[in-house]
Amino acid sequence: MMECRSNCRATVIEIQKILDHQRMECIDLLEPEKGSFILIDRTTAARSVRFTRLLSWLAHYPYFSRLANNGVEVPDFVFAEFMETLRDSFRKERRKHKELAIKDYLSENFGVFCDLIYDLSREKNIAALKAMDLHQCKAIYKITGSYADIKKILDTKPDFEKRKRYPEEENVSGAHYYSWLRRGQSKALEKDMPLHFQHKDESKEGVGTMGNVSLFPDRLVIEVFTKQKYAFAKTMVGKFFGENLKLQNEAVVDLAKQQAAKIEDNYEDYVQERILEKEESGSKDIPIEIERELLQKTHKRHYTIFLDEKIPALDDMTPRAAAADPQMRPRLIELMKQHLKGIERQNKDRELGLNIDWVLDELSLSELK
């Protein structure tokens, strides 16, 4: 027993299966040729899903293995760069010390590589947010013509659907509130959107949203959350309402830039905010049966499109094409592991019963079931 503990080394593991409340089937990504082993750790089993990767200290015993700490999860979006940095750093050090093993090197520099995960995650999050079109765009139009004509358009055009006032919206007597939907003339926006955001059959696929419209006695306010939608919305306001409205004021707030600044200022607080938001969003008053049915339909539609959609991570090949290409197959497997992780996390947290085994069958990836 003491000998096993003394041979404890730092490594990177990947969970292949959660067997029960404490046992997991895992592989060592620094020694994959040794095959799978059984890891016993209740804390890790409770918080993990398949294909979770951990940087941790690992001790092998005759019939099972144990972690010497809870481990640090290596997020998917930094995993490739993390492993490349680890291997490159090890190769440089090995030129000086020919007998050095990668696990010994990692053990000696464990804190450095824990920090690397943190730094890479922070940098990638900042870069992703700065590249994102997430803008709160609001335009206020003064009513210069017929209020009745404006309301008639909002009440009769399929682009608009009456709704209740949101709590954060201004409460004015005689005001009317609408959702602006991507149907009618506004459906034209979808031709410039990715395929999975397009809705060809509203009866089966639902309808996408543009934003919100508020009609007050003296003004009309529109609010959307991307610059792309905002440019389109202003054009459509001109077409729908013409001289009945005159732009009075507008504001565009870069929400993504604000979030990126939060990360740069204090990444720990940002992460805690995201955790709290996730917990609060999970307690919404939607019956689980309805949420489950809606998400299952959404996933079915999404993955039906996904199979034949060009994917940047696959060099713009479709998943079907990548499945037939031996050179692309490893990248397809990695991509689908990430998808499965996300789905199984949702199932674990909210019991949604989402399943994409049929997608794995289409791609001949039965090994991921």
Q: Name the percent of the chain lying above pLDDT 90.
A: 73
- Domain stop point among 70, 100, 127: 127
- Domain stop point among 106, 127, 148: 127
Q: What tokens were used for 7?
A: 């041979």
| Segments of the chain with pLDDT less than 50 | 1, 283
The Cα 317–Cα 268 span in angstroms is 37
Output b/e per residue, 35-59; b: 16+ Cβ within 10 A: eebebbbeebbeebbbbbbbbbbbb
Q: What is the DSSP letter of 191?
A: G
Residue 357: what pLDDT? 96
Residues 98 and 147 in one domain: no
Residues 64 and 9 in one domain: yes
Residues 304 and 206 in one domain: no
Residues 95 and 11 in one domain: yes
The Cα 87–Cα 84 span in angstroms is 5
Residues 244 and 194 in one domain: yes
Structural domain boundaries, residue 356: 285-368
The reported pTM is 0.78
Residues 147 and 113 in one domain: no
Residue 287: what pLDDT? 76
Note whether residue 266 is domain-resident.
Answer: no
Residues 145 and 176 in one domain: yes
Note whether residue 60 is domain-resident.
Answer: yes
Residues 235 and 142 in one domain: yes
pLDDT digits (tens, 9 = 90+) for 314-327: 999 999 999 999 99
Residues 151 and 243 in one domain: yes
Residues 88 and 167 in one domain: no
Note whether residue 267 is domain-resident.
Answer: no
Q: What tokens were used for 70?
A: 């809870």
Note whether residue 230 is domain-resident.
Answer: yes
Residue 289: what pLDDT? 81
Residues 112 and 143 in one domain: no
Note whether residue 174 is domain-resident.
Answer: yes
Residues 245 and 329 in one domain: no
Work out how many domains the chain is built from and give that number: 3
Residue 203: what pLDDT? 54
- Domain stop point among 96, 127, 158: 127
Kindly report the CATH number assigned to the domain that includes residue 112.
Answer: 2.40.50.140
Residue 283: what pLDDT? 47
Cα-based distances in Å from 233 to 60, 223, 224, 252, 340: 61, 9, 8, 13, 36
Note whether residue 264 is domain-resident.
Answer: no
Note whether residue 10 is domain-resident.
Answer: yes
The Cα 68–Cα 23 span in angstroms is 15
